[in-house]
Structure 1
């Protein structure tokens, strides 16, 4: 498998990292572009609608209504949906807002003015659905419906759904709306509503459904001993000391985001590190798919914000994938799921699982087992130092030895990656450490920056770049994934036409890192905190320019901006590529592997008794059959571990660019 991540340049520069020239709308000064050699696709920001509202969710979920060339944007700050005229993406303009307050619901209630709009989707005929959270989030919410097919929008009514409806998506045929009712607890755990998945049968005409069209798929079937091993259930009211629930699993599972393909909905249960499979016809949860962990002894990461460098290294930690957004796609006759592995924890007033590695052994928390450090070649004291693992945020809910004496395994949050799964939950591809490698090359001075300040290494001790959003788009006979990073920002594009051999193509970050404090300079900051991404094919645009294969729309919650990109490519006129075939699962995960035919199987996990002892800055051999995954020698890997920031920003950037390109060419020549 070849995964090239060679160096690119900022747009105005021929070599090195030169800032972009200022532009009236987009891109912003300092925007970053970084591509693999020979990349045949690029992103060009052409326009942006800005609210200049900082970090209040003024631009979150976005969807596109092609029939009227409108873009719908969730404005959580106002609890409304902003509708933009995006017929000319270089000059998007606001048309109107959809307010849900006062809309009568089919159950006899009324959507209150204080409800929060969390999500939106629109059908081809103009039927729009808005997920509305109750002002008291633990009470049932609503889905409100609008008719956008005419010049003036019309509120059609609403239906009641479960607690905290966090996302709503239409099935591709428009027959159903699927609502992920997250059911988060109250801060004091006085109430913890059950999570459910709402399946709403929709009229074929543009009108609101009746209340009897709403069915809630719950998790009662997985109580007691029926929960699959690997699904995290923890930290409910019993752990918080506020009650003994009759249905602890159902209260614990919190649906986050849905994707629909065929007759099924696939719903992420982020904190539980699993996916629920829902049959739409019966509105029942058929199965739960545990996602396993990513072993940082095989897949390196930068785990400290106090090590003074980019230090993407191996550590004795396993991290839960915990995806947020999920999308579904069919490639070569096989259905796949794409997940953005952001990571999340339970951190409430009455119960929190979060602690740092240095907190083990402190304030009543059991210590680390000596074997964890010894097997790694360190003492516990060394391992818990801030420049090593001490700062990493991990969980206290898993890893404790059976006798409660010490933690025998460290578990962290988030894969810092995106994954491709088959519909049985088997891992086909995982981007592993590539996002940190890419951003270390593209913006070395702002590696793992947070999204409200421009800084260096701030998020390494948490979840790194935090992949939040994922989208799928087809261009010609090729299929691409677009992944948005919540913290450092930007969109990474991968060619996933052959899913098991998915390859990085390009990365674009329309952020002005010269703005240090985004709260004070949001108008000049560009884009930060991408929450959602939408691809619109050229066939659905008014008059795309030559070479424009589609439009990408990104909603940025921190900067309150909605930015429109031309997707440039000559692939529409290119020769057809080799057809995709069903792909093998990837390795390096604790999830159960699918059947292996022995061809191009990739790297196998290292058995526990053969795990290498690795020191910070080294990259472990992950067991590749040809040795290509050894330190600095994995296809596409960048030689960027333990490098001082000053060197990275100067001559080292140019040398790394040349070296990475040479590595890529050498790997290509080997086939």
Structure 2
């Protein structure tokens, strides 16, 4: 128990002892009553929350301390200290009962109607969930958390029907600001390419009841994968990933689209920002760092760069866009609407003790080792931004991703590589219980261009990182994610999300940190990082980016349940409903001011289990 809590029962005892031994006190023998109330996080007197203890005489003898009977002189406020530990408790959950087909991905929240909007890629629609009745006193754990289904779906939004064009595909992202909802939808072409044509952003107006009315759609770039409003709602920013088709015969350019919002009305056209100036022979070719991975067959730089996710700086001047496959971040000047720079993220050295990894799913044990000459690309998926001392910092969830298509694949195992004879892992790379099964790229690592591999380079960094606005890393969680899950879950660490098979992802990207949200609670910044494969969320205090601390690992998954999910067909063997939440894909932090419970919340969309979970955050 934290010291700041021990004073509560002591104060209550002292106040209760003011009554006489025969149960009477004060005038006319009235009893002294004590009332204890919870102060929410963000309270004027207690930033971290606390307890308000009020006492007074029960003059009317009704057994209740009425407002008129409270003696302010005897009231006590007991605040939680700054050292209080943040805890996350499951208080709400919606089960779509659709498994393995991404029925719950990106999420956002409307504070006015208290509705959660969820991308349902399976249906191609947006599910609308009612969060107004969530009660933080209904927190559950254990088997109760696995079975919880207390949030109701009120309706859904058929974006393709509203846009009304041919060849529209799945919805990929959404964002809420004020009473505006923006939804990204991809589009294919008449030749059978499913998502290589220009996509659209559909805008909706949300009323106080959470009902939406379609406004209009705006054409953007190919495969709009993420949308976000800037900090004052005057601009919507779209990351158009521009993925190639399966045969790699059509590779659209990646781009950024910007849609102005004036007087709360979205424009009908977008401003396009491309990367053609960085192509060979382009005006900015010399700015492209050689560490940025450009490896698509016959692809220009503009075709190869694939914008993934957007974070807007707190000062509203910059947008940071993750280029996951390229292991880089693009910095966008929002005032001038231009690309300011492309930041290379470099390699993570798995030869360092603090970065040690378990690289095999065939070793039948938890085995963390440091491997000199082995590296990981950071390749962030979700990114976010916050400020410390009026300076912008970028936070990344370092998932990793390979280009693996029918027409081109860079993916191999370490034992497939033609290593330089002097490589320190020459023997370990041929041992499947060490490095042999590690998934690696064939597009990088030949430093001296002599035809053999000098560096073994894998995907992702199995961590989250903090970078300054110039791309310098100031923090990385090293091997903590895997070591924490190994300590908590034992042999189930680095488990996959489609079945309980123990250590089945160490050879790939381990737990795969993908989802990310930042929340400010009582002047402290917290990062919430979802592990796509293993499940659960890591919580870190990142208030000072140079003094980051681990807070907790929260997971709602039963690793003893016998189930198997086919993510291509949605077929389920066993009872996946008993497995819990699988595959956290998107997160939304809700501040106490916006929350239906007056307490901070965290909403998580879990794509494999098709569930949407809501956690109450408290001290």
TM-score by length of 1: 0.73
CA–CA separation in structure 1 for the residues paired with 2:429 and 2:279 = 38
**Post-superposition offset of 1:518:** 4.2
CA–CA separation in structure 2 for the residues paired with 1:436 and 1:527 = 19
Q: Report whether the alignment pairs 1:139 with 2:197.
A: yes
**Post-superposition offset of 1:486:** 0.3
1:55 is aligned to 100
1:666 is aligned to none
Greater relative contact order (Cα 8 A, min sep 6): structure 1 or 2?
1
Could you say what secondary structure the match of 2:593 adopts?
helix
Aligned pairs (5 A) from 1:449-464 = 449-464=495-510
Aligned pairs (5 A) from 1:57-456 = 57-89=102-134, 91-104=150-163, 110-112=164-166, 114-124=168-178, 126-135=179-188, 136-151=194-209, 152-205=211-264, 207-211=265-269, 214-224=270-280, 225-238=285-298, 248-261=300-313, 262-298=316-352, 299-315=355-371, 316-360=373-417, 367-373=418-424, 380-456=426-502
CA–CA separation in structure 2 for the residues paired with 1:168 and 1:112 = 22
Q: Structure 1's 113 and 88: CA in aligned 2 closer, same or farther, altered over 3 A?
A: farther
Unaligned runs of 5+ in 1: 1-37, 105-109, 239-244, 361-366, 570-671
RMSD of aligned C-alpha atoms? 1.6
Q: Structure 1's 386 and 111: CA in aligned 2 closer, same or farther, altered over 3 A?
A: same
Unaligned runs of 5+ in 2: 1-82, 136-149, 189-193, 566-572
8 Å Cα contact 2:525-2:541 kept in structure 1:
yes
8 Å Cα contact 1:79-1:114 kept in structure 2:
no
8 Å Cα contact 1:276-1:288 kept in structure 2:
yes
Give deviations 1:259-291, integer Å, cap 9, x for gaps. Answer: 111211100000110000111233211110000
Aligned pairs (5 A) from 1:424-573 = 424-519=470-565, 520=573, 521-544=575-598, 549-569=599-619
Pairs aligned (count) = 500
1:16 is aligned to none
Q: Radius of gyration: which is bigger?
A: 2
CA–CA separation in structure 2 for the residues paired with 1:69 and 1:410 = 49
**Post-superposition offset of 1:45:** 0.6
CA–CA separation in structure 2 for the residues paired with 1:115 and 1:401 = 41
CA–CA separation in structure 2 for the residues paired with 1:346 and 1:227 = 24
From 84, 87, 90, the equivalent of 1:45 is 90
Give deviations 1:457-516, integer Å, cap 9, x for gaps. Answer: 100001011000111111112111100000000011001111111000001001121223
CA–CA separation in structure 1 for the residues paired with 2:388 and 2:451 = 49
TM-score by length of 2: 0.79
Give deviations 1:634-661, integer Å, cap 9, x for gaps. Answer: xxxxxxxxxxxxxxxxxxxxxxxxxxxx
CA–CA separation in structure 1 for the residues paired with 2:447 and 2:266 = 53
8 Å Cα contact 1:216-1:283 kept in structure 2:
no
Q: 1 or 2, which has the higher strand percentage? A: 2
Could you say what secondary structure the match of 1:232 adopts?
coil
Q: Structure 1's 425 and 404: CA in aligned 2 closer, same or farther, altered over 3 A?
A: same
**Post-superposition offset of 1:203:** 2.6
8 Å Cα contact 1:62-1:74 kept in structure 2:
yes
